[in-house]
């Protein structure tokens, strides 16, 4: 991104003040108004879908099929879900299930109130949907919102900055372009909610800035999402489904399967069978062209990330059994499977965020769960098994943001499930109603009837036995 496409730093406080002033007019609170803005988001994405697909290709080499399937179409679906359900979501809740039934007369209610002016900070790996999905949530909740696009996906960021003002109310919704200096300035300001998606290092910077203003925040972070593979599962199906999660967007997905644990009970032959299954999946996925040439395979986003991944491959003590070729000019890395990995291997240090799959062999499922539990809580835990007992063991013995049996990545297709991390993989939830709730706060309310006074006099001083009717 060149300098001219950054939002001038001195303009940032002005944008913030404008959004605050708009929120005070309360016009973003009307449900029909929110629905209209939501549908305009869908219109913007629909009208410009090819431009967005082109920008995503320029930013990450995202194949068109991935751009339409995982960024463009889900936005349309999410807008429809929000616009349709909004009247129901926003309805005040009348509390009738009270411990003391007499309190029903007080009309206890819970209102879902917009938090105010929200800030959304976007990463580069899904730079469209991860900008629009929280924006849709902010609009649904009745908030005003500034979206800080990722400077590492500049084409998508610039397109958003150009199109949002053409479709949405610019006094209520703004896109800010920039990198660390701009984001640092943005974070000095007092927002009413911050929704950050990105790595945990910056997550800590954002949290510290939010703490200064006691601003609530949602942290959508990453981490190493493990896969536990029961070797008695259909290994070809498992290899296809794991490889799918690893090659989509070239493994640059927060929920990509990061590493694979195979409990073999010392039977190494099982591991060979797993590797053979990966070979077959690989051959099938790249039957038209090898991965470095394939138009069905994205690239690594930047030279920094390309170098980071190559350094890890150079440092691992494991053995590469599949892939391993790279093309530095085009920032391409083949899907690469590495075996003989110990828990302290270089490939196990941090989230890989690339197409490398280390495999760790352990004895039992309990050992696999122990390995997962000793590390930071992952965003997702994947497990391939047909055994209900094993599913239960894995669920009860581990902690993760989400839990998926027998597939990878596809859980995000269910827009109504609460998605998010736990501990080091973040906190807060998004998805359908959960997104709406993230940008709302619950305002409890009662309305004491005048006629209840006869029952209330007992609380007033003096606390004499006569007054207390003892």
218 closest CA partner among 195, 200, 193, 191: 195
Stretch of 84-92, 146-154, 230-238, 313-321 contacting ligand NAD, by CB under 6 A: 146-154
Place of tokens 């703004």: 174
Length of the chain measured in residues: 470
Considering the complex, what minimum distance in angstroms separates the CB of residue 253 from ligand NAD?
7
Catalytic status, residue 254: yes
Query: Which member of 150, 174, 249, 408 binds ligand NAD (CB under 6 A)?
Result: 150
In our burial notation (b when 16+ CB lie closer than 10 A, e otherwise), range 204-217 reads eebbebbeeeebbb
Comparing every residue's Cβ against ligand NAD, the nearest one is 222
Catalytic status, residue 93: no
Return the biggest CA–CA distance within the chain: 92
Q: How does strand 332-333 pair with strand 356-362?
A: unpaired
In the range 28-87, which residues lie near ligand NAD by CB under 6 A? Answer: none
Note whether 183 binds ligand NAD by CB under 6 A.
Answer: yes
Q: For ligand NAD, which is the closer residue by CB, 169 or 220? A: 220
Q: Are 239 and 367 in contact (CB under 8 A)?
A: no
Q: What pairs with residue 328 in β-bridges?
A: none
Token couple for 403: 């839990």
Considering the complex, what minimum distance in angstroms separates the CB of residue 404 from ligand NAD?
14
Query: Which member of 122, 309, 356, 371 binds ligand NAD (CB under 6 A)?
Result: 122
In the range 203-232, which residues lie near ligand NAD by CB under 6 A? Answer: 205, 220-222
Query: Which member of 179, 270, 292, 422 binds ligand NAD (CB under 6 A)?
Result: 179
- Letters for 352-391 (x = contact with ligand NAD by CB under 6 A, - = none) are -x-------------------------x------------
In the range 417-446, which residues lie near ligand NAD by CB under 6 A? Answer: 421, 426
Place of tokens 């929000």: 82
DSSP 110-151: EEEEE-SEEEEE--SSSTTHHHHHHHHHHHHHT-EEEEE--T
Note whether 15 binds ligand NAD by CB under 6 A.
Answer: no
Distances (CA, A) of 351 to 7, 201, 315, 347: 31, 12, 15, 8
In the range 238-267, which residues lie near ligand NAD by CB under 6 A? Answer: 254
Token couple for 28: 């973003």
| Active centre residues (catalytic) | 220, 254
Binding site for ligand NAD (CB under 6 A): 121-126, 130, 148, 150-152, 179-180, 183-184, 197-199, 202, 205, 220-222, 254, 351, 353, 379, 421, 426
């Amino acid at each position: 991104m060149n300098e001219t496409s950054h939002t001038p730093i001195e303009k940032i406080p002005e944008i913030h003040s404008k959004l605050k002033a708009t929120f005070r007019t309360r016009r973003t609170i009307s449900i029909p108004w929110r629905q209209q803005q939501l549908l305009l988001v869908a219109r913007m994405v629909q009208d410009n879908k090819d431009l967005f697909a082109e920008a995503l290709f320029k930013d990450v080499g995202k194949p068109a099929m991935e751009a339409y399937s995982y960024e463009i179409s889900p936005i349309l679906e999410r807008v429809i879900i929000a616009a349709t359900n909004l009247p129901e979501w926003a309805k005040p809740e009348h509390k009738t299930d009270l411990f003391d039934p007499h309190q029903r007369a007080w009309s206890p209610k819970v209102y879902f109130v917009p938090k105010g002016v929200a800030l959304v900070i976007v990463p580069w790996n899904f730079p469209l949907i991860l900008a629009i999905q929280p924006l849709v949530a902010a609009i649904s909740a009745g908030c005003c919102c500034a979206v800080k696009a990722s400077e590492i996906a500049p084409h998508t960021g610039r397109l958003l900055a150009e199109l949002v003002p053409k479709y949405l109310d610019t006094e209520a919704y703004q896109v800010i372009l920039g990198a660390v200096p701009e984001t640092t300035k943005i974070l000095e300001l007092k927002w009413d909610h911050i929704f950050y998606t990105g790595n945990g290092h910056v997550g800590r910077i954002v949290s510290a800035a939010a703490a200064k203003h006691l601003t609530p925040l949602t942290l959508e972070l990453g981490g190493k999402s493990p896969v536990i593979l029961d070797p008695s599962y259909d290994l070809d199906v498992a290899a296809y489904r794991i490889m799918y999660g690893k090659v989509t967007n070239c493994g640059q997905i927060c929920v990509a399967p990061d590493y694979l644990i195979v409990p073999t009970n010392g039977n190494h032959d099982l591991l060979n069978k797993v590797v053979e299954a990966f070979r077959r999946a690989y051959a099938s996925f790249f039957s038209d062209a090898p991965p470095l040439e394939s138009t069905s395979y994205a690239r690594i986003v930047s030279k920094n990330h390309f170098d980071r991944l190559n350094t890890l491959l150079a440092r691992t003590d494991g053995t590469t059994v599949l892939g391993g070729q790279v093309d530095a000019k085009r920032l391409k890395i083949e899907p690469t499977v590495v075996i003989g990995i110990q828990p302290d291997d270089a490939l196990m240090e941090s989230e890989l965020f690339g197409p490398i799959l280390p495999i760790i062999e352990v004895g039992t499922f309990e050992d696999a769960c122990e390995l997962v539990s000793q590390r930071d809580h992952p965003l997702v835990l994947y497990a391939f098994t047909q055994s209900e007992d094993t599913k239960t063991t894995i669920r009860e013995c581990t902690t993760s943001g989400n839990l998926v049996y027998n597939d990878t990545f596809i859980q995000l297709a269910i827009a109504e499930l609460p998605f998010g991390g736990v501990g080091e993989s973040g906190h807060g939830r998004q998805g359908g109603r959960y997104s709406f709730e993230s940008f709302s706060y619950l305002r409890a309310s009662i309305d004491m009837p005048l006629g209840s006074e006869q029952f209330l006099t007992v609380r007033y001083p003096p606390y004499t036995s006569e007054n207390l009717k003892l």
